[in-house]
Structures are given as C-alpha cells and as structure tokens.
Amino acid sequence: MNVAILGLGRFGSQLAEELVAIGVEVLAVDRDDARVNELSETATLAAAGDLSDFEFLQSLALGDYDSVVVAIGSEVATSVLLTLTLKRRLKLKHVVAKASTNDHAEALRLAGADLVISPEQEAAIRLAHTLGPSSHLEEYMSLGPTYGVAKLKAPINAVGRTIGSLEAFTRHNVVLLAMVRNDLVTFRPDRDVVVEDGDVWLIAGEDEQLRRAGS
C-alpha cells in the first residue's frame, strides 16, 4: 500500500511517520524545503513544491497512490482548491482531507473529498469523555451524537462475578465487544467468564450507559 501526504505540518508529519512505521510507502510533499528535508530519510519519497501548481501536482504521479491526504488544515482556501483539483482534474480515486472547522469540513465534502477528518475536534471529544463523570474511561470514540465505544478497566465490584451477571450488560444495554486479559484479546467473551482484577473491557453503547458501566 502507498499513500501521498500533501502538507507536512504537525499532523502531516506525524501521519507520515506512523504510516512508515506500519510498512506503508509514503510520498511526503510540502512547499517548505525544511519540512521536506526533515522527512526525507523517513518517507519513501519526499518532494518540495507549490501545491497550487497543477504541473507540479501532475509530476508527482498521484494517480499511482492508493490514497492521497490533503493535510493542510490552517489554509482553508488552499486545501479546498487542492482537494477540488485532485478529484475533478486529476480524477484521483481516494482523497482524504483534514478540516479545521465544521464549515471547512463541509467545503471539503462539496469539493469531492472521499473522507474528511477533524483531528482536533475528534481529540477534544475523546478527552471530554475521559474527564469528569467519565474519568474511568481510558479511551473513547464517538459513533454518533449520543453513542460511542470506550475502553476501561473492569471495576473492582465486578471482580469475581460472571460477565452475564453484571448489570452493565443486562440493565444498561452496554455491549462487551472484547476483553483483554494478560495481553490476550477475547472478542465477545462468553457470559459465564469470571471477571478478574486487571481485565480491560472494550464496550459500546449510549454515552450515559457507558459512564455508568464502570462506576
């Protein structure tokens, strides 16, 4: 698999490093020579140039890549025009674009982006659900306005009881997707499995019920 990343700010650079770490070939592109040089030894290929220059974009052979990521979040007009060019003029099959605001995200969708991501907004949502009343939740991912998936340590009051006997999974309408015990992952564990101290759960359900599940 190969991915081209256009824009090497904090998000684009981190994405490039993570992709390379899991074995993905990466083309890293930015107009700033210094940013390109920083990733030249990490990325498979690195290039510096004006992303608003159509001929430069053509020279990158972006059509050979499985995905192209527009990682320019701060320059709204630039990212929207670039996305539009990639989809309408270069006819790329899969373009992912980074948005900084809701309006920016909508503009990117109208420009044809196949996937729009809002890292800062998503990070804020995850953090909000791991603070305050939800502080027992280690990680959270939203599935909708009021539903999500969360990771948490099995509460002490559940230790020694079977999964099927816990109110979280009988009254609170929470689904236990997986359990981690001593680095061993069990998906949809049986109801007669006895909870042990140190077990970690991956659960899904309504946000309010997720908060109650670990209390």
Whole-model pTM over 0.75 = no
Same domain, 174 and 128: yes
The boundaries of the domain holding residue 200 are: 123-213
Per-residue confidence (pLDDT) for residue 70, from 0 to 100: 96
Q: Contact 96/67 with Cβ under 8 angstroms? A: yes
**Average pLDDT across the chain, whole number:** 87
Same domain, 162 and 58: no
Same domain, 69 and 169: no
Same domain, 113 and 127: no
Average pLDDT (141-154) is 81
Instruction: Give kind and range of the element (H or E) at residue 13.
Output: helix 10-21
Same domain, 84 and 141: no
- Compute the distance between CA of residue 39 and CA of residue 64 in angstroms, rounded to an integer: 21
Same domain, 197 and 113: no
CATH number at residue 61: 3.40.50.720
Domain end (from 117, 143, 168): 117
State CA 84 to chain mean position distance. Answer: 23
Residue 127 has pLDDT above 80, yes or no: no
Same domain, 167 and 81: no
- Number of domains observed in the structure of the chain: 2
DSSP code at position 97: E
> Degrees (nearest 5) of the Cα angle 24, 114, 88?
105
Average pLDDT (42-48) is 94
Same domain, 112 and 60: yes
DSSP code at position 215: -
Same domain, 160 and 83: no
User: Strand 25-30 and strand 45-48: pairing?
Assistant: parallel
- Compute the distance between CA of residue 81 and CA of residue 154 in angstroms, rounded to an integer: 48
Residue 15 exposure: Cα atoms within 13 Å on the Cβ side: 26
CATH number at residue 140: 3.30.70.1450
Residue 137 has pLDDT above 80, yes or no: no
> Comparing 196 with 170, which gets the higher pLDDT?
196
| Residue length of the chain | 215
Domain end (from 64, 97, 117): 117
Binning pLDDT at 50, 70 and 90, where does residue 112 land? very high
Structure confidence by residue, pLDDT tens digits, 71-89 = 987 788 999 999 999 999 9
